[in-house]
Structure 1
């Protein structure tokens, strides 16, 4: 059964008010459990990459030699971050559609910062007051304080955690989306915005202009753009203007192949193909699989994934992503000489997942609730203090969207 798509803006041009497919869960409010699964898959891939392919310092030898039977898979785990970016494009457009910039900002800040603040604090304490040396960022106290803002990348300060670089990329993406939302989000405007961003990202890549690279992020933009296009396909289905989102997906896919081969190629050039067996054809296969998975979400082919316990996997993904390297820096060097590498890698993964679950239950979830309530109250007070309109009433506050693990990346 087909149902009409929700319009986010009553003043939207008529072409934007196209019918959504019955499968367009974003328009109907059904939680996309499949995205929770994909987020955990992405986090697990990154964890496997760090534990079993990338970190020579953990094992005192190249881990691809220790885990040679799976090395061709674990080396590609680096691209789990790219899957995160694709998912982020999808869900951030979904979360901002029909909401104000203030509501979007409150939802993002309350989603990202509680677990992140805890992670920075843990990392600071560990490297200040223990003998752990692996992945030590070697930051001054003031630099740790700056890390609490998540803006350290803007000041040339190192990240407290090795994976925090991707959060700096996410923040810049959020700023672009927030600025775009000021003009009012409609289907037509989305298509124009995505096409313009893609063109500017190409320009940045070809010119290597630092300012253009900083703003338009050519190595990450194709994933965000394709993810947003996938959401448009998911929401509006195969009707009006459907070809344009698919063209954007195709363009993003092509540029993603270039970006991924460059990123993986840097690793290969650094240590050699024998120690990092990730040839270009393997990268092509990995990126293709990632795009096919997102296409399956967009087309509703994964709607059968409904088991509610999978939501918890998505919920613990963020703290797992933030702190799995920190856990490995403690566990693996301490036991690598007495426990079989395969068993130790499995134990470290299990410990990381268990700690991530505890952080989600005891820090992340209550922290989100607390911060959202206070930031939401500030936003409401700001609205009430604005001058009243000609009708004698101020703008009615729109509810800030409740946070869900599918509404953020990682």
Structure 2
């Protein structure tokens, strides 16, 4: 197991932060003006490049596949679940609360004002289960992450993850292709993440391929890569529907390979010359920065931005968001993680005794 936890994984910490910044610039530099969420403020000079920066999401999903599979290796389903809850839930609640407060004080004309009921629904992250919209548009990806974690939990609990992961991934990819090309089931699309399954599966298979180095594993990795490369074409109609125009074929063809290459290089390349603590700290900014940036950014531009000060607002906004993300990463996350993991241990001990009694 030590062979697959090398220090070069620090590269992934840095890549995660780069991916978050790409998504941030996609929203501020491209989306905001088109949708009107910045109340007319935008960056048309950045848009021709920024319109491609949703590649950051593809990189995120591939990294998740790799890291979550690594986190699951050698752990029980309960330990895995406790670790994921400790990692995601406290920071999400804090960031959703900050977002709700900011949007209440500085409303965005193009967005609905947050409500107490909406905020309460976010205490379980998946607010749409209670019929409440997300407080921030970026949260839809967190929902997909949780669905992915849920399936990994099931595979761990049933013992299928290690022994039959190739079959699981192959069937997952086959259903994804069938759904996106023929069935068009929204339920399957959400439940099995069929549009983006290639990226999660690629990261998962890449981890297992590094462990096993077998032809069968590489074959599954290749299948995942193929579907991942097709994904930008699958999701482009949604892009056109949202923004009123499409992107060129060459760019769409390049997005998948570039995203997969970025993750693969980060894993296999020598560690960049950076101190371990700094790399981990920078990577730790990713999650709170991602959760905070979109609608809070729109609020800043809509309430304070002008054509003359927009670049100054952009610089101040990014600096402020990074500062708040650092505070959360250094205070909320570690304290909450220790508390949740500590609480989970007696629960796990009780479950172990219960299983032994009925065994």
Does the pair score TM above 0.5?
A: yes
Residue in structure 2 matching 1:110, options 68, 74, 86? 86
Q: 1:51 aligned to 2:28?
A: yes
Equivalent residue, structure 2, for 1:122: 98
Residue in structure 2 matching 1:133, options 91, 95, 108? 108
Alignment of 1:5-404 (within 5 A): 24-26=3-5, 30=7, 32-56=9-33, 57-61=36-40, 63-65=42-44, 68=45, 70-128=46-104, 130-133=105-108, 136-184=111-159, 188-205=163-180, 206-236=182-212, 239=213, 241=214, 243-273=215-245, 278-298=247-267, 300-304=268-272, 307-308=275-276, 309-337=278-306, 339-388=308-357
The TM-score with structure 2 as length reference comes to: 0.89
Whole-Å separation in 2 of the counterparts to 1:285 and 1:64: 24
8 Å CA contact 2:61, 2:200 repeated in 1: yes
RMSD after superposition = 2.6
Deviations 1:136-177 (A, max 9, x none): 444542232122101223344311211111111111111111
Whole-Å separation in 1 of the counterparts to 2:261 and 2:274: 20
Structure 1 residues 135 and 387: CA distance shift in structure 2, 3 A: farther
Whole-Å separation in 1 of the counterparts to 2:313 and 2:103: 23
Whole-Å separation in 2 of the counterparts to 1:302 and 1:137: 47
Structure 1 residue 110: deviation in Å? Answer: 0.5
Structure 1 residue 301: deviation in Å? Answer: 1.8
Whole-Å separation in 2 of the counterparts to 1:62 and 1:287: 31
8 Å CA contact 1:223, 1:256 repeated in 2: yes
Runs in 1 of length 4+ with deviation above 6 angstroms? Answer: none
Aligned residues: 355
Structure 1 residues 211 and 330: CA distance shift in structure 2, 3 A: closer
Whole-Å separation in 2 of the counterparts to 1:99 and 1:156: 34
Structure 1 residues 133 and 341: CA distance shift in structure 2, 3 A: closer
Structure 1 residue 314: deviation in Å? Answer: 0.7
Answer with 317-326 or 148-157: which moved more.
Answer: 148-157
Structure 1 residue 258: deviation in Å? Answer: 3.0
Structure 1 residues 131 and 335: CA distance shift in structure 2, 3 A: closer
Answer with 197-206 or 38-47: which moved more.
Answer: 197-206
The TM-score with structure 1 as length reference comes to: 0.79
Deviations 1:258-295 (A, max 9, x none): 3223434433454344xx7x423222223211111222
Whole-Å separation in 1 of the counterparts to 2:167 and 2:21: 35
Structure 1 residues 266 and 302: CA distance shift in structure 2, 3 A: farther
Whole-Å separation in 1 of the counterparts to 2:300 and 2:196: 32
8 Å CA contact 1:34, 1:297 repeated in 2: yes
Equivalent residue, structure 2, for 1:394: none
* Aligned-partner SS, 2:51: helix
Larger radius of gyration: 1
